[in-house]
């Protein structure tokens, strides 16, 4: 994922979220995630050290979170937020399998600590991840990020949580455009103390992605759909910050397009693609463009035209007020 300036997240910056390279673990069941109102027990706290920095390992029935963050408020939010993210990500678009192992995450207090941890975990691959200025990555099912400030850190956690979940649970990987697009889709949330985790996930509630998308549309730099489908975070990062942020913003819009365009014309197909990737169905197309043309629209020219029209609609004057509230800017016919 990218939240300024290189795998981007919210606020002034999002980070680059690199995909892990390990094969997904087998899935032997497809059951429903806990209901959103399931009460959660406080996590088990055990001391955790990262060099000279001290912190805690927070253990819950679904997550292991190692953290050295200094903010007591943020630390208290990590475990319930992760639980809420899991419930949302396994139910909001499709009924997806529960992980068969704990999801592991590291949340360091700052970038130097994160860099030390990245070097330790990734070894010879560390330099490619250390290009990230602000954000995090997920590799081999483990999310590694650092505190980039309150809400931004939680949005980044939600994005990396999706990668940790799919890498540990899906039998077949999603193409990069869909994996990263869904990561951005799941970032949006609003504070709601009546909900578990104190948040309500609303995919449109993502002002930063909206602003980046609006800037790209105004500058005439929207990518063509075939280009977007075969793009990768690393390639975009090589082209610079603006290209990377624009890429993630357009993937965010593309997933919304698949969910809402034309009264949800593509939503059933999206649900099917996710379930087949989770269970390892041999029917699912493997290639990025092949999957899109097979499952969503065989006419890329038409899809391109409709997708760009969708983008123009959602960045129209006045739409930002809806985004701030987490409401859809899509007008129904």
Q: What is the pLDDT of residues 197-219, one digit of tens each?
A: 889 999 999 999 999 999 999 99
Sign of CA pseudo-dihedral 188, 191, 192, 196 = positive
Q: What is the pLDDT of residue 99?
A: 95
Judged against a pLDDT cut of 80, whether residue 309 lies above it is answered with yes
For residue 5, the model assigns a pLDDT of 31
Question: How far is residue 14's CA from residue 151's CA, in Å, rounded to a whole number?
Answer: 11
- pLDDT average, residue stretch 114-129: 94
**Is the pLDDT at 64 greater than 50, yes or no?**
yes
CA angle, 274 then 9 then 54, to 5°:
105
Q: Do 45 and 189 meet the contact criterion of CB atoms below 8 Å apart? A: no
Question: Minimum mean pLDDT among 187-191, 209-213, 235-239, 265-269: which range?
Answer: 235-239
* Mean pLDDT, residues 4-29 taken together: 33
Q: Is the pLDDT of residue 194 over 80?
A: yes
Q: How much is the pLDDT for 233?
A: 84
Tell me the HSE value of 117 on the side-chain side, using a 13 A CA sphere: 27
| pLDDT value at 25 more than 50 | no
What pLDDT, on the 0 to 100 scale, is given for residue 314?
96
- The residue-averaged pLDDT of 159-171 equals 97
Whether the predicted pLDDT of 13 surpasses 70: no
Q: Is 185 helix (H, G, I), strand (E, B) or coil?
A: helix
pLDDT of residue 1: 47
pLDDT for 7 equals 37
pLDDT(15) > 50: no
Q: In the prediction, which pLDDT does 131 show?
A: 87
Q: What is the mean pLDDT of residues 65-76?
A: 96
**Mean pLDDT across the chain:** 87
- Model confidence, pTM: 0.88
d(CA 159, CA 156): 5
């Amino acid at each position: 994922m990218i939240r300024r300036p290189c795998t981007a997240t919210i606020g002034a910056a999002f980070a680059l979220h690199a995909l892990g390279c390990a094969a997904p673990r087998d899935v032997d069941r497809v059951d429903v995630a806990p209901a959103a109102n399931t009460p959660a027990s406080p996590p088990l706290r055990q001391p955790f050290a990262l060099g000279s920095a001290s912190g805690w390992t927070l253990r819950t029935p679904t997550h292991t979170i190692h953290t050295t963050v200094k903010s007591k408020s943020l630390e208290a939010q990590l475990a319930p937020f992760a639980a809420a993210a899991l419930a949302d990500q396994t139910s909001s678009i499709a009924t997806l399998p529960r992980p068969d192992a704990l999801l592991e995450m590291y949340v360091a207090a700052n970038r130097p600590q994160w860099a030390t941890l990245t070097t330790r975990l990734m070894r010879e691959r560390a330099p490619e991840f250390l290009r990230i200025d602000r954000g995090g990555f997920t590799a081999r099912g483990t999310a590694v990020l650092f505190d980039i400030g309150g809400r931004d850190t939680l949005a980044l956690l939600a994005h990396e949580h999706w990668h940790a979940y799919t890498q540990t649970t899906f039998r077949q990987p999603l193409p990069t455009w869909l994996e990263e697009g869904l990561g951005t889709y799941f970032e949006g949330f609003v504070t709601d103390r009546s909900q578990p985790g104190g948040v309500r996930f609303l995919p449109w509630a993502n002002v930063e992605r909206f602003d980046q998308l609006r800037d790209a549309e105004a500058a005439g730099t929207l990518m063509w759909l075939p280009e977007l489908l075969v793009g990768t975070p690393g390639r975009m990062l090589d082209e610079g910050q603006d290209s990377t942020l624009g890429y993630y913003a357009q993937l965010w819009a593309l997933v919304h397009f698949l969910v809402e365009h034309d009264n949800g014309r593509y939503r059933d197909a999206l649900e099917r693609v996710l379930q087949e990737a989770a269970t390892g169905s041999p029917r699912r197309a493997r290639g990025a463009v092949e999957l899109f043309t097979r499952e969503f629209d065989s006419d890329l020219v038409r899809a391109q035209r409709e997708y760009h029209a969708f983008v123009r609609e959602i960045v129209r004057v006045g739409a930002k007020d809806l985004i701030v509230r987490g409401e859809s800017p899509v007008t129904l016919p």
